[in-house]
Amino acid sequence: MTAAATAHLAFDGSGIDGSLFSAVTGFARDTKWLNTPMELWTNLGLGVFAVLMVMGWWSARRRGTEAMTVALAAPVAVLTAFAVAEVVKKIVGEVRPCRSMPHAYLVDACPAPSDYAFPSGHSTVAAAAVAALFLLDRRLSAIAAVFALIEGFSRVYVGAHYPHDVLGSVLLALPVAYLTSLALRRWATPVVATLSRGALRPVLAAEPGA
């Protein structure tokens, strides 16, 4: 099947909230000074969530085995949510806005026809980080939530996703990441406790008084 045929058979999501998408991309057209910063943020901004998880791990070294288990579970929860989103993306097969609405103002380059839109992978990572950090440190989770909102908006601003792609990723990522972290906290805590008494202790636990 050709790329054009693949795009033709894919689901067209412009009928759901195409007008809202156009409003946001119209704002992008009127704020061209913001285009480059938003395009940089939409990809590089994901590093903020990695930094927040590292901060959570560092803090967990002083808070005991259960906290450390949750800290180690955070990236696993994010990857799990992302993997589920990728499966959903292939099942739904929603064509990107750049193909459904080619006359819209687009900051981002149009990806291959087989790179579907729903749900947003970037927003999935952001929302999953919020959920994973919630069990570890509410303050870090709140900070992550602010950056996740910016990330979600940026995906629509650059023209990569419809608003419902972002919303769908949040509704998917939050429970998947939260339940994954919860399960790992229950099942993996004994393993982390054992490892923290061995050679990995400096990584898993801070020395008393440190």
pLDDT in tens, 150-159: 999 999 999 9
Kindly state whether residue 21 falls inside one of the protein's structural domains.
Answer: yes
Whole-number Å distance between alpha carbons of 208 and 82: 37
Kindly state whether residue 11 falls inside one of the protein's structural domains.
Answer: no
Kindly state whether residue 115 falls inside one of the protein's structural domains.
Answer: yes
What is the number of domains present in the chain? Answer: 1
Per-residue pLDDT, 201: 73
Residue 176 token pair: 């998947």
Evaluate if residue 6 carries a pLDDT over 60: no
Per-residue pLDDT, 75: 95
Kindly state whether residue 208 falls inside one of the protein's structural domains.
Answer: no
pLDDT tens by residue, 24-80: 999 999 999 999 999 999 989 999 999 999 999 999 888 888 888 999 999 999 999
Per-residue pLDDT, 8: 47
- CA-to-CA separations, 28 to 32, 39, 106, 162, in angstroms, rounded: 6, 11, 8, 14
- Beta bridge partners, 94, equal 11
Region label for 165, one of left (φ > 0), alpha (ψ between -120 and 50) or beta (otherwise): alpha
| Three-state DSSP class for residue 161 | coil
Kindly state whether residue 135 falls inside one of the protein's structural domains.
Answer: yes
Q: Please answer whether residues 116 and 95 qualify as being in contact, where contact means their C-beta atoms are separated by less than 8 angstroms.
A: yes
Per-residue pLDDT, 203: 65
Per-residue pLDDT, 177: 97
pLDDT tens by residue, 98-144: 898 888 899 988 888 888 999 999 999 999 999 999 999 999 999 99
What pTM value is reported for the model?
0.88
Give residue 94's domain range.
17-190
Kindly state whether residue 111 falls inside one of the protein's structural domains.
Answer: yes
ω into residue 97 within 30 of 0, thus cis?
Answer: no
Kindly state whether residue 49 falls inside one of the protein's structural domains.
Answer: yes
Q: What are phi and psi of 104, to 5 degrees?
A: -70, 155
Kindly state whether residue 134 falls inside one of the protein's structural domains.
Answer: yes
> Tokens 């399960």 sit at which residue?
183
Closest CA to 3 of 110, 148, 104: 110
Closest CA to 23 of 146, 100, 105: 105
